[in-house]
Structure 1
Amino acid sequence: MSNRAVLEVIALDAEDAVAAQSGGADRLELVTDMAADGLTPTRETYARVRAAVDIPLRVMLRLADGFAAGDVSGVDALVRAARELRAEGAEEFVLGFLDENGNPDLVAVERVVAELNGCRWTFHRAIDRAADRDALRKQLADLPGLDTYLTAGAAEGVDAGLPTLLTEAARRGEPGYEPQILVGGGLRLDHVPALRSAGVDAFHIGGAARPGGWSAPVAAPAVREWREALDG
């Protein structure tokens, strides 16, 4: 493991992206509408952000609040969104859908992933709402491109999920546990030492990069504080 941890920052626009990169972010998660916990941005937003920075950029594929993909027309719309973003040049994505019982919605996930054509992607915090995290990982293990799980370890956030995160970090490399654990969701700087010592090497921040709140842009100094903590 290289000892430099990945720092991923949520960006809503090119201004955020530039500030995040200048603060030391390694990667961006591009979304719109944080009131709904982050939805798919427009092609135009993607193109502006891609032109503004040169670090990797993962684009959210999610069209409604919650973790359901919706009915057939909802899945069709997700596939279209993926196709349009691919046509615009997007190469990395974020997605994750559950059925009403908290199991992975394999039909929706597989249809969207097929459209990504081997691109790398993150299964996001839907895992924190899953009925059985271990079963979900094993059901998704053979999907092409899945290289990351964004998780807080619990729906309530990292404070509640820390024991689960440490347990899962110890299983890295087992079947279903090969993808990188990207910790995010109520993550604070004081969580970092325990996670780093457990081998966690990827961290995701949203609100922590915006001292002025979600109505204010990403602040490069806030990102830099995280960069320095991870490199410390």
Structure 2
Amino acid sequence: MTTAETGPGPTRPSAAPGGHVTEPTAPARPRAAVRAFRPRRVIPAAISALALLAAGILTAVETISALAGRPARLLPYDQVSEWAATTAWQDRQALTSAGITAVLGLLLLLFALVAGRPRLVALRTGDPDLVAGVRPRTLARLLGAAASGADGVRRARTKIRGRQVVVKAATDLRDTAGVEQRVLTAVEDELGRLAPIGRYGVRARVRGPS
């Protein structure tokens, strides 16, 4: 489990012995908590940074070598200049190049604006300036353990799909409807105890004896 500060001020964690989070004593800050664990676009940022670095190095080398009287000519300026002088804006090659450049720019802007898939699920704490995060796999395991502890459940497996908790359980009892209700109650109670930010729906399917 990971914790992160969401603002200034003293922290007052509210955790019971054994790592169980108690009910919050102050309102949490859901937006700040989600932003704290928002995944960073490392790959697009690295590509953009490398492209700008390469362009800067080429510009510096060409400028300094030209001032020294020995142009490096790492780039084919003559061919590019000739192509630009003989190509109209309405030409298919010019329009294609402009379109590709615009699409790449829009993609980079989209990557920067749209949030990626979070790696941690933010949990409420007793301090509005402190948030905790747990991996979705760990959260699914905790909810699965709660489902397995329900009366009549032989085994249970839980998966998290977006904001949906899907529980598949097996029982030796004939009354699968009653077991299913107990599984739903156990999982919902565990969700209430862990207090993830955002509303999660729970769906259970119980298989009886064959």
Q: Report TM bin, short chain.
A: under 0.3
- Taking structure 1 as the reference length, the TM-score comes to 0.19
Q: Which has the higher contact order (CA 8 A, sep 6+)?
A: 2
**Which protein shows a greater Rg?**
2
- Taking structure 2 as the reference length, the TM-score comes to 0.20
